[in-house]
Amino acid sequence: MKQTELIMGMPITIEIVDSSDHDLLQSMFDYFRAVDDRYSPYKPDSELTKINEGLARNKLSSEMTMILDLCEQTRQDTNGYFNIRHDGKLDPSGLVKGWAVNQVADKLLQAGHDNFYVEAGGDIQAHGHAADGGPWRVGIRSPFNMQTIVKTLAIQDGGGVATSGTYIRGQHIYNPVEESTSASIQSLTVIGPNIYDADRFATAAFAMGSGGIAFIQALPGLEAYMITDDKQAVYTPGLEQYVVSA
């Protein structure tokens, strides 16, 4: 059973192996819609919009308070590179997406499902095995050609994968390996035990530029695959445990 819906301006896909519980599937998409209703910076009635229009902090929902606390914690964890405040407005979507995918995966686990994945705009949490009985195979798309997969990772025992990239040209940075040349990062993919950490640290590490992948390297349990302008990839040695040879 596999379904895709457009929510939060992006395709969200849930596949559950060996299940035809469409009501459950629908309730998961409803959950994503509820998250969007609360955290969308674009919806005039969202709680986030009300905060940005001056809603008093003591009027916040407990969940919003928790999310903002998580954002602040992440800001501190990342040396300030993760920051939801831009131009005086708050936008926690860099954390909410991964958090929501994680929430839905937890709900499916609690409902007794072992083999499924949840994917929102390239943020993935997968558990168990795919329909063919093998591990979930996650392809990293080339930033240079949407049709091309440049790396295949296998998730065996549950894990999250997130990619941070930019559609505006990235900052100009030094290639961390070849000092003589400089290159921009096109995308940074992070894989780890859960999509919540993979997503928030991918976001922060991407903002760090060339230092970002070393930041991921410093985080236990997280590995990264960085693609630069010059069609090179730099990755943490621990990534190899996930790599499926073509």
Q: Which of residues 82-111 bind other proteins (CB under 8 A)?
A: 82-87, 90, 92-94
Q: Which helix (H) or strand (E) holds 149?
A: strand 149-155
Q: How far is the CB of 157 from other proteins (least distance, A)?
A: 16
Q: What does the H/E/C string look like for 95-136? A: HHHHHHHHHHHHHHHHCCCCCEEEEECCEEEEECCCCCCCCE
Q: Quick check: 164 binds other proteins (CB under 8 A)?
A: yes
For 97, phi then psi, to 5°, come to -60, -50
Q: Quick check: 24 binds other proteins (CB under 8 A)?
A: no
Q: Quick check: 62 binds other proteins (CB under 8 A)?
A: no
Q: Which of 9, 22, 114, 181 binds other proteins (CB under 8 A)?
A: 9
For 42, phi then psi, to 5°, come to -105, -20
Helix (H, G, I), strand (E, B) or coil at 52: helix
# chain residues binding other proteins, by CB under 8 A: 103
Q: Cα-atom radius of gyration of the chain, to the nearest Å?
A: 18
Q: How far is the CB of 139 from other proteins (least distance, A)?
A: 3
Q: Per-residue x/- marks for other proteins, 117-146, CB under 8 A?
A: x-x-xxxx-x---x-----xxxxxxxxx-x
> Contacts with other proteins in 173-192 (CB under 8 A)?
173-174, 176-177, 179, 184, 186-187, 189
